[in-house]
Amino acid sequence: MNAGRLIFTQILDLLDRKEFQRCIDLHPMPRASKSMTARDQFLAMAFAQITFRESLRDIEACLDGCAHCYAMGIRGKIVRTNLAYANENRDWRVYEALGKILIRKARRLYAEDSNGLDLQEMVYALDASTIDLCLSMFPWAHFRQTKAAVKLHAMIDLKGSIPVFMDVTDGSVHDVNILDRIVFEPGSIYVMDRGYVDFARLYRIHQDGAFFVTRAKSNMAFYVSESRPIDKASGLRCDQSIGLKTAKSKRDYPGKLRRIRFVDPETGKSLVFITNHFELPAVTIARIYKSRWHIELFFKWIKQNLRIKAFYGMSENAVKTQIWIAMCVYLMVACLNKVHGIDESLSRILQVLSVNVFQKTPINQLFMDFCTNFDETELANQLSFNDLLTGQ
């Protein structure tokens, strides 16, 4: 990269202009704004994510008349009315399509990383996180009688904690319904909590040639058809082949399941897992479920480091636009980490970028020169990128 280019434009080099234009062409704006193109909107909103802007007025104050706007790639006039109109009216699916392009790029970069489980199979963790909203300001975001919310559903690849599937719904959509929207890869393992236990949907995963690992509900009615020997010293209490008892559950899942009871040696908590994978050791199944914690760390990271809890607009389109652009920023930072071999946590990378977006230094040189020494207390409070991989 040229030393005379802004840090911000070097970050945006990860986006191919032709690919971005194809995303725009897929979802054209009914009445386009000549003074605020889709690219201008994305650049302004990405700038807001990277530099932690609080509002549209804050974005306008930073960019309106800024001498660096042209060098950043912004050709329109960044005023809050134009940006609010674009967020309200330009289809959020433009940025969803762009996010999917970045997901593919990030997965290629992290393809050689370990998922920490020493398995040949791909392992994915699935979960959802709720973002609370004010009902009077977001009446479309149905959740409870006196409360509004949106729900962010995500499935991450444990290699690098890269989201491979994302969906944004109102808070009333139950987590398990998202299983209907996922295309399952044969041979892959999907780990999820017991909120996703729906035997008809789990059987579809089985029929697709994929595997699932989840926790059993306490009221599950079953009979044991086979018990395998276990090593109690490892925390295992049983490893059984079971069938479901009730007429509905037998109809929904006519096949056999594997039931494993495990006592966590650290907490003493007894956990019961069910899976359709009969080949892996029982202890490995327990380790796979423990790796589900990576997606909790992923949600924690994006809520702490991205602007997805306070929104610049109140419409459904504006909210989804902001969330998808925030995820694009997350993916670009994750890609930068690999492309430039930056030995830092993602939160630290964002911190450095946020105060240096107008610098004209190559990104790799920036992180070589920038002082990144923490004292022990500060370091302990950072959620490092390695934490996302190891679950520590």
| Digit-coded pLDDT (tens) for 103-151 | 999 999 998 888 888 888 899 999 999 999 999 999 999 999 889 999 9
Position 141 in a domain: no
Position 217 in a domain: yes
Instruction: Spell out the residues 6+ positions from residue 344 whose beta carbon is closer than 8 angstroms to its own.
Output: 337, 352, 367, 372, 385
Select the highest-mean-pLDDT range: 61-65, 78-82, 192-196. 192-196
Q: Average pLDDT for residues 287-292, to the nearest whole number? A: 93
Q: What angle, rounded to 10 degrees, do the helices at 38-51 and 316-339 form? A: 70
| Structure tokens belonging to residue 218 | 């306490």
Identify the pLDDT of residue 385: 46
Of 28-32, 84-88, 141-145, least confident by mean pLDDT is 28-32
Q: Average pLDDT for residues 200-205, to the nearest whole number? A: 96
Identify the pLDDT of residue 374: 46
Looking at the 3D structure of the chain, how many domains does it have?
Answer: 2
Q: Average pLDDT for residues 160-172, to the nearest whole number? A: 92
Flag whether pLDDT at 269 surpasses 60: yes
Count CB atoms within 10 A of the CB of residue 178. Answer: 23
Flag whether pLDDT at 166 surpasses 90: yes
- Which among 276, 302, 334 is the end of a domain? 276
- Which among 276, 296, 324 is the end of a domain? 276
> Residue 222 sits in which domain range?
195-276
12 and 91 together in one domain: yes
237 in Cβ contact with 221 (< 8 Å): no
Position 229 in a domain: yes
Per DSSP bridges, beta strands 142-144 and 123-133 are unpaired
**What's the CATH code of the domain at 243?**
2.20.25
Q: Determine what percent of the chain is predicted with pLDDT higher than 70.
A: 92
Position 266 in a domain: yes
Note the pLDDT tens digit of each residue in 356-387. 999 888 888 888 766 554 444 444 444 444 55
261 and 332 together in one domain: no
- Which among 249, 276, 303 is the end of a domain? 276
Flag whether pLDDT at 211 surpasses 80: yes
246 and 316 together in one domain: no
Position 299 in a domain: no
Q: Which of 324, 376, 325, 378 is nearest to 351 (CA)?
A: 378
C-alpha to C-alpha distance for 92 and 279, rounded to whole angstroms: 43
Position 297 in a domain: no
Identify the pLDDT of residue 73: 86
Flag whether pLDDT at 88 surpasses 90: yes
Flag whether pLDDT at 186 surpasses 90: yes
Position 180 in a domain: no
Q: What angle, rounded to 10 degrees, do the helices at 80-89 and 316-339 form? A: 100
Note the pLDDT tens digit of each residue in 337-356. 998 888 788 888 998 999 99
Q: For residue 326, give the amino acid letter.
A: A
Of 59-68, 102-111, 126-135, 303-312, least confident by mean pLDDT is 59-68
Element (H, E) at 308: none
Q: What is the mean pLDDT of the chain?
A: 89
pTM for the full predicted model: 0.89
C-alpha to C-alpha distance for 61 and 66, rounded to whole angstroms: 9
What is the band of 192 on the pLDDT scale with cuts at 50, 70, 90?
A: very high
Position 208 in a domain: yes
